[in-house]
Structure 1
Amino acid sequence: MIARPLLLVRMARPPVIVLLGMFTATGMAQTGHGEDRFLLARALVVVFGFLVFSVACNDIADVLVDRVNLPGDPGRPLVTGTAHRRDMVLAGATAAALALAATLTLHWPATLVTVAGLAIGAAYSLRPLRLAARGVVAPLVLPACYVAVPYLVGIFAVRDSLRPEDVLLLTGLYVGFIGRILLKDFRDVRGDEMFGKRTFLVRHGRGWTCSFSAFCWTAGTILLLAAVRHPTIELIAVNAAYLAVALLLLRALSTERGARRDEHLIAAIAIVGRGIVLSALVHLALTNAGWPTPQYAAVMITLSACLLGLAAAMARRGPLAAPSGRASEAVGERRVAIRS
């Protein structure tokens, strides 16, 4: 049995914790007081505990599906045999207790948000509710956890109330994240079909999934620009570029040309999605700090150019190293074509 602290770290998957950390920092920056690093660290402890609890619930519920979709993936301890079910239960309970304890150092609404997030995270994966298996409900509920909890914890780290622009920005981030989370099911479609998990992709196919994702990307971008504090021409321009690239990638993804190509395109879309959140965060940080326009513009344009260049390279060549090596390649070779 591996050490429990190491299990907690392994379960906090780096790309996800980075994304949730950006949502947390964005919530703090939206209040105009995001420069307190100690306060951000306390908020991130809450988010870390919430994420590990959610992952534990999901891994316990989906172990059979993950053995088909992700054999040998080191990020799935139950699949690789490096942890047992009791370890995951204990890790999840420890993480939930850590998250709740850390909320006591923030404003009181943070505790309510965390309790609600933990409850929804359990209901998403575990029976009798198991929202993950309820078609369109899953891509609506999961972003409510992965966006709302860290973003609201970030806000309630600074103050104990919400303002209309806070809610509008949350809505934009939430809708945009739905457009991205829908694409996760492309990787898992074989196991989902085998075990009767009726995801949006399984129910409606590739074309409708990409179309609905494109709608969410567009609506989310518009809402974000309408809600963010002190919007600028540069922010509007870089978000327009992100959206255009995302729509082009989704159009390419709507045509079935093999699992490896799907993996490349979805990885590229993920980079663009993180770019939208990161650019909003950088915009808030720079405007809160009162940066002059020329320097602000240079940072925003350089950041977006680097991220879009990385997305283009990812679409062409894919990830440099697959996380599960030959196992992931085998999954790709066995994956059935998604109906058009």
Structure 2
Amino acid sequence: MDLRAGLQLVRPINCAMIGFAVIVGAFVSKPPSTSGLQLALGFATGFLICAYSMAVNDVYDVEVDRVNMPERPIPSGRLTVGSATRVSIVVLIGGVAASVLSLNPAAVAIALVYAFLSWLYNARAKKAGLAGNLIVASSLAIPFLYGGVVAGGSVLGSLLVLMALTSFFAGVGREVVKAMADVEGDSERGVRSVARTRGLKAASLVGAAFFLGAVVTSWVPLFTGLANLYYTVGVVVPDVVFVYLAASVLRRADASNAYRVKKIALAGMTAGLVVFIGGGL
């Protein structure tokens, strides 16, 4: 198997962000004590199950990618569907095994739910449009909660929940906007995205609303006593990014701008991760 194609299949940068989100969740939950092994297993679980999701996505989306992204490993001929499926199985087993080694039943349950949602989205829910977007966004929120659980920290009623909610809103916004750039390919698979069923303008309104929703939830800690100085100062950066993206997609509701916005949104979400770490100090 082409190693480079295999790495492109699982999108390691995206998966590293998910693994990092688990670490952030563990850190912010302020556990009484935690070990480097717990953190390593948590990172591995997030990374590998994310890799499973990415691989499965390319298996199910091969016809869409022939139109939207012909350079991807499968449509370009560098990987077969069979080899991509085998990769997905291996990383899934690795991710679940890492959660089992944490010796935390709740963490194992969350990992299994995360894996199931990844399969459900790609196999069934993606065609449902907004419902599929909600599932993808939940996969961005779950790693924070998983981190808190695997570390044995405080989860409910903490900054962690608001972090997860903020990530969820930002994730929905990005997925809705991403579909604006994928309309042609999505028609090949019958994906009923907001952009396909309601038009690009309606999709831009929905995407912008969720981006702004992320900004609103990010400010809740400031008024509930959960934010420290680092969070208060730092949150301005990702918030400015998402306000800008909301304005941009409303101003230009076309595929090329949507592609640009989805890329910048990923940078904004990365900045948010750094801010969340500051919030846990």
Aligned-partner SS, 2:101: coil
How many residue pairs align between the two structures?
A: 276
CA distance in 2, matches of 1:49, 1:257: 35
Matched, 1:173 2:167: yes
Contact 2:177–2:261 (CA<8 Å) still a contact in 1? no
Q: What CA distance in whole angstroms lies between the structure 1 residues aligned with 2:240 and 2:154?
A: 35
Superposed, which structure 2 residues align to 1:219-234 within 5 Å? Answer: 219-227=213-221, 230-233=226-229
C-alpha distance in structure 2 between counterparts of 1:124 and 1:78, whole Å: 19
Residue 149 of structure 2 aligns with which residue? 156
Q: Any conservation in 2 of the 1:12–1:48 contact (CA below 8 Å)?
A: no
Residue matched to 1:17: 15
Residues 240/99 of structure 1: CA separation in 2 closer, same or farther (3 Å cut): same
What displacement does 1:49 show?
Answer: 1.7
Query: In structure 1, what residue type is equivalent to 2:150?
Result: A
Q: Percent identity?
A: 18
Residue 125 (structure 1) aligned with residue 122 (structure 2): yes
Residue of structure 1 equivalent to 2:49: 50
Q: Matched residues in 1 for 2:240 and 2:212: separation?
A: 9
Computed over aligned residues only, the root mean square deviation of the Cα atoms, in angstroms, reads 2.7
* Residues 1:7 and 1:135: Cα distance change in structure 2 (over 3 Å): same
Secondary structure of the 2:74 match is helix
Q: How far has the Cα of 1:233 moved from its partner?
A: 5.0
Q: Counterpart of 1:335? A: none
Contact 2:19 2:44 in 1 (8 A): no
Distance 1:89 1:264, change over 3 A: closer
Unmatched tracts of structure 1, length 5 or more: 288-340
Q: Separation in 1 of the partners of 2:207 and 2:258?
A: 15
Equivalent of 2:91 in 71, 83, 95: 95
Task: Give the whole-Å Cα distance in 2 for the aligned partners of 1:7 and 1:45.
Answer: 21
Larger-Rg structure: 1
Q: Which runs of 5+ in 2 are unaligned?
A: none
Query: Cα offset for 1:160?
Result: 7.3
8 A Cα contact 2:173 2:207, kept in partner: yes
The structural deviation recorded for 1:159 is 0.9
Correspondence 1:2 to 2:6: no
Tell me what 1:246 maps to.
Answer: 242
- Contact 1:110–1:152 (Cα < 8 Å) also in 2: no
Cα distance change, pair 282–21 in 1 and its aligned pair in 2 (3 A): farther
Correspondence for 2:82: 86
- Aligned partner letter, 1:30: V
Indicate the larger mover: 90-99 or 172-181: 172-181
CA contact (8 A) 1:173 1:224 kept: no
**In 1, Cα distance between the equivalents of 2:242 and 2:161?**
24
Q: In the alignment, which of 264, 268, 278 is matched to residue 264 of structure 2? A: 268
Assess, with a 3 A threshold, how the Cα gap between structure 1 residues 38 and 10 changes in structure 2: closer, same or farther: farther
Q: How far, CA to CA, are the matches of 1:93 and 1:66 in structure 2?
A: 21
DSSP-derived class of the 1:79 partner: coil
Q: Helix, strand or coil: the match of 2:70?
A: coil
